[in-house]
Amino acid sequence: MSEKRRHVRVKPDKAHPLEIQVMGSGFLDIMNALDISESGISIEVESKFEGCNIAAPVELIITLPKNITFKARGVIRHANVEMTRRGIFGVEFTWIQDGYSEKIKHYIKTRMAVL
């Protein structure tokens, strides 16, 4: 099977999770990322965002290790709510606070070095 993704995705170190705050139309949730790339993140949400408008853009606050916190915006491009009790959502970044794209790249490079 060929990989369609443009960017490498890495899973966070379990000892140092990536906290993601997602604010959308009718919902606010805080969770840890399943993985991250330069272009987006994957999250697992217990509520599956049931009853919420997930088609609208979302605001994100992302916290990398060492308390590197920044804002981003995105759109939900993939939702898998049937495979598990929880929903797994892929969020594509549409905007990242100035200077933090490089911090994401550095984080990914660092994680790849230990995998």
- Give CA–CA dist 4/84, Å, rounded: 23
Q: Comparing 52 with 113, which gets the higher pLDDT?
A: 113
Is the residue at 49 inside a domain? yes
The pLDDT value given to residue 2: 44
Is the residue at 10 inside a domain? no
The pLDDT value given to residue 70: 98
Q: Token pair 């217990």 is at which residue?
A: 46
Domain extent, residue 27, equals 19-114
Six token digits for residue 66: 């060492």
Is the residue at 13 inside a domain? no
- For the domain that residue 104 is a member of, what is the CATH number? 2.40.10.220
Share of the chain above pLDDT 70, in %: 82
Is the residue at 5 inside a domain? no
Determine how β-strand 68-80 pairs with β-strand 19-24: unpaired
Residue 77 has pLDDT above 60, yes or no: yes
Q: State the pTM of this model.
A: 0.84
Q: What is the mean pLDDT of the chain?
A: 85
Tell me the one-letter amino acid at 9: R
Query: How many separate domains does the chain show?
Result: 1
Is the residue at 6 inside a domain? no
The arithmetic mean of pLDDT across residues 25-31, rounded, is: 84
